[in-house]
Amino acid sequence: MSVLAVGLSHRSSPVALLERVALNGETRTKAVGEMVGSESVNEVMIVSTCNRTEVYADVSAFHGGVAAVTELLSWHTGVPLGELSEHMYVHYEDRAVQHLFSVTCGLDSMVVGEGQILGQVRDALKEGQESGSVGRVLNDLGQRALRVGKRAHTETHLDHAGADMVSFGLTVASGGLGLGPTGAPRTTADQTLPAVDAVPPAGCPMSADPRDTVEAPGLAQPTHGPLTGVRVLVLGAGSMSALSANTVSRQGAAAVVVANRTMERAARLAECLTEAYETVDARAVPFEDAADTLAEVDLVISCTGAQGLVLAADAVAAATAARTRPLVFLDLALPRDIDPAVRGLAGVELVDIEDLRQAAATAPGTDTGRDSALTLARGIVDEEVAEFRAVRRAHQVTPTVVALRAQARDVVESELSRLHGRLPDDLDDRAREEITRAMRRVADKLLHRPTVRVKELAAAPDGESYEAALRELFALDPGTPEALAATEGPATAAPTAQEKP
């Protein structure tokens, strides 16, 4: 079987199209089910973020797999196939593996090196495991991708060299607040907010995976920061919203209001912020009351995952009619949460994914430490792709090796049966058992070197030819139930995305 990657990202597609192809909730579930049910597709995992929608699949045929994935993607998103194809990229086998590894490391992100994508890939893998759309091939690939992402960030400190999506968004949005790095009026020389190590409070809903959270270092954070005095409304209480709330708190926000459809999650996030930051006034409000808080805040950050707009322009206009200070919206959602029409309101500024993409495209890339980290991370990806290829090819030759050993075993047993009929009757059982063990040892020793060697050669370029030669020389059938069971058996013990250490 072969790995296929089909997708669109901020590098290949305008944000307006990314918004249309975003697969969420029931639509994604139906699309995955139909893809797996198609003739050429065996397994599917979908990675959907504010920067990309990508389908990873284990396919039995390249053209059939591409056709099934693209046609169903078009059908479920309503985007014509021709329009989709103009912006879509396709990767196959090693290039598909390399792409996923690069994505998981943050090398293909809008903010290069950001670490949130690691959790998003983990969530995609877990979702596929729970739905049954991910089998052995994509489970192995996904687990390896998570390992590569962790290794890249650990060994290169890539996320320290770069920024994350929230910090980058705040840097772009801070211009509308008119603030400098300590809350003072912003000057032309002050173009960026300093990076802040946003460590989530213990137990905060920072991520679906508890390993993404660590104990907060107490309440000894600075009382002044780039957002000193700013009052913030956070819409949503998922991982990105929690990261946003934590980041603005560390940057000195005076107050954080959390609005979420599930009041319990909003209250828990507000409680976490209160416990971790003694200078932050954090509270939760029902989601339907979010518009009522617009009059009291300076910055609104939204990333809800909703299918439609959560704040319409008329609601914003009504809530801000009496304002005398600016109100900035940072919309990190895809599809977008904030009505683009708010750009036409006096005193209101909107920064969304399209604005961030343009800012990222024009941002200078002269940081020597960052460039060094990127080079190291790309080297890790190349190394891991080669290792994964070797493991996969060695695994693919296993049915042939099993078939060869089964054939040898049958020959040995046949000869033993014939031999035992000719041995003297007075030969004791112990001697007969020793003869049996000796013949089996001879067969095992004769096969050991060639079977080990064929696995090694299978990992090399054109390694399939060695397996084919082995099948032809010994008239082997690697499709026998015994041979297939040898490759499929361990899959039941494969760790889940949560269980993998």
330 contact partners, CB below 8 Å, separation of at least 6: 169, 170, 172, 173, 244, 299, 300, 301, 302, 351
Q: Is 260 annotated as a binding residue?
A: no
Between the two ends of the chain, the Cα-to-Cα distance in Å is 27
3-class secondary structure per residue, 188-232: CCCCCCCCCCCCCCCCCCCCCCHHHCCCCCCCCCCCCCCCCCCEE
Residue 377 lies in a domain: no
Question: Which amino acid appears at position 366 of this protein?
Answer: T
Q: Is 372 annotated as a binding residue?
A: no
Same domain (yes/no): 134, 31: yes
Q: Is 240 annotated as a binding residue?
A: yes
Same domain (yes/no): 347, 395: no
3-state SS, residue 311: strand
Q: Is 52 annotated as a binding residue?
A: yes
Among candidate residues 297, 322, 352, the one where a domain is terminated? 352
In terms of residue numbers, what domain contains 304?
162-181+224-352
In a structure prediction context, what are the per-residue pLDDT tens digits for the chain, which is 501 residues long? 689 999 999 999 998 899 899 888 888 999 999 999 999 999 999 999 888 999 999 999 999 999 999 999 999 999 999 999 999 999 999 999 999 999 999 999 888 888 889 989 999 999 999 999 999 999 999 999 999 999 998 898 776 544 678 888 888 888 777 654 444 444 333 334 444 444 444 455 543 343 443 333 344 354 467 888 899 999 998 888 888 999 899 888 999 999 999 999 999 999 999 888 888 999 999 999 999 999 899 999 998 878 789 999 999 999 888 888 889 999 998 888 999 999 999 989 999 988 888 888 776 654 555 678 888 999 999 999 988 988 887 777 888 888 888 888 888 888 888 888 888 877 888 888 898 899 889 989 988 888 888 877 877 767 777 778 888 888 887 666 455 555 554 333 344 454 443
Give Cα separations from 196 to 163, 252, 264 (angstroms).
Answer: 9, 11, 28
What is the pTM for the complete model shown? 0.74
d(CA 290, CA 338): 12
Same domain (yes/no): 167, 302: yes
Q: Is 50 annotated as a binding residue?
A: yes
Q: Is 49 annotated as a binding residue?
A: yes
Same domain (yes/no): 314, 281: yes
Same domain (yes/no): 74, 131: yes
Q: Is 149 annotated as a binding residue?
A: no
The rounded radius of gyration (Å) of the Cα atoms in the chain is 29
Same domain (yes/no): 82, 102: yes
β-sheet bridge partners, residue 376: none
d(CA 439, CA 413): 9
Q: Is 40 annotated as a binding residue?
A: no
Same domain (yes/no): 154, 107: yes
CATH code (residue 244): 3.40.50.720
Same domain (yes/no): 317, 336: yes
Same domain (yes/no): 344, 404: no
Tally of domains in the chain: 3
d(CA 277, CA 325): 26
Cis-peptide into 185, omega within 30 deg: no
Measuring CA to CA, which residue among 346, 348, 340, 292 is closest to residue 315?
292
Q: How many CB atoms lie within 10 A of CB 366?
A: 7
Contact 21, 77 (CB under 8 A): yes
Same domain (yes/no): 140, 80: yes
Q: Where are the alpha helices (DSSP H) in 397-497?
A: 398-420, 429-458, 464-474, 481-488
d(CA 257, CA 284): 6
Q: Is 109 annotated as a binding residue?
A: yes
Q: Is 2 annotated as a binding residue?
A: no
Q: How many CB atoms lie within 10 A of CB 442?
A: 12
List phi, psi (to 5°) of 231: -105, 130
CATH code (residue 80): 3.30.460.30
Q: Is 133 annotated as a binding residue?
A: no
Among candidate residues 325, 352, 379, the one where a domain is terminated? 352
Q: Is 115 annotated as a binding residue?
A: yes
Same domain (yes/no): 439, 328: no
Same domain (yes/no): 348, 399: no
Annotated active-site residue in 50, 204, 272, 303:
50
Catalytic, 105? Answer: no
